[in-house]
Chain A
Amino acid sequence: ILNVEQSPQSLHVQEGDSTNFTCSFPSSNFYALHWYRWETAKSPEALFVMTLNGDEKKKGRISATLNTKEGYSYLYIKGSQPEDSATYLCAQNTGFQKLVFGTGTRLLVSP
């Protein structure tokens, strides 16, 4: 049984702070890791799909790294803004066309 875990559960930072979250996953049968941002009352929005050990991806102020050998991924947000407030989800795909999600990290950025 897959078990994807995310930490912390929630985070409250001030505008301008940089922050990071962790996603841990079983390293066996790894195929891909997905990161999503989910704002309240909206659809989850895909941020990154990562497949290779050592992958680093960046979109604006948000970046992510992947370590498939030890089973973790980090998501970084540089200079957090109030509009970054959302729940950040990671999900692992083992190649069976389904994503196994963590419970998410809820980020609140105060002005």
Chain B
Amino acid sequence: KAGVTQTPRYLIKTRGQQVTLSCSPISGHRSVSWYQQTPGQGLQFLFEYFSETQRNKGNFPGRFSGRQFSNSRSEMNVSTLELGDSALYLCASRYERGLAGVDEQFFGPGTRLTVL
């Protein structure tokens, strides 16, 4: 079974631009979560989608948004990029068996975003 894939793997943008990152979950997984990691910080939860609906959102400004498609693929978008948005963005998928939080999350390799 193919793992979680993320594209692109590396991205360089300038301040003020916007960026879209893509995540394809493991086949059959309907839950996709996004996380941000910056130097010195743990993984910070951005949001989670399930069946095309955002179920939960972390403490990030409205410049961070996402969506999920009917095939469970997900995108996250960051508008008006700031230097502090430079980070590794990870997505994770999960096969939800009905007890949320108990299932393993399977992570992708991440997208490294650099904002200049």
Chain A: residues with CB nearer than 8 A to chain B? 4, 31-32, 34, 36, 42-46, 49, 51, 89, 91, 93-104
11 interchain pairs, CB-CB under 8 A:
A4-B42, A34-B104, A44-B90, A44-B107, A49-B103, A51-B102, A98-B56, A99-B33, A99-B105, A100-B45, A101-B35
User: Please, which residues of chain B bring their CB within 8 A of the CB of A49?
Assistant: 102-104
B50 at the interface (CB under 8 A from A): yes
Q: How many positions in chain B have a CB within 8 Å of any CB in the partner chain?
A: 28
Chain B interface SS verdict (over half): loop
User: Please, which residues of chain A bring their CB within 8 A of the CB of B45?
Assistant: 98-100
Give the 7 A-B residue pairs with the shortest CB-CB distance, closest first.
Answer: A93-B101, A101-B42, A46-B104, A101-B43, A103-B42, A43-B107, A98-B45
Which residue of the partner chain, among A36, A51, A94, A98, contacts B33 with CB atoms under 8 Å? A98
Question: Would you call A104 and B42 a contact (CB within 8 A)?
Answer: yes
**8 Å CB contacts to A: which residues of B1-52?**
3-4, 31, 33, 35, 40-45, 48, 50
User: A43-B3, A43-B110, A44-B107 in contact; A97/B101 too (CB < 8 A)?
Assistant: yes
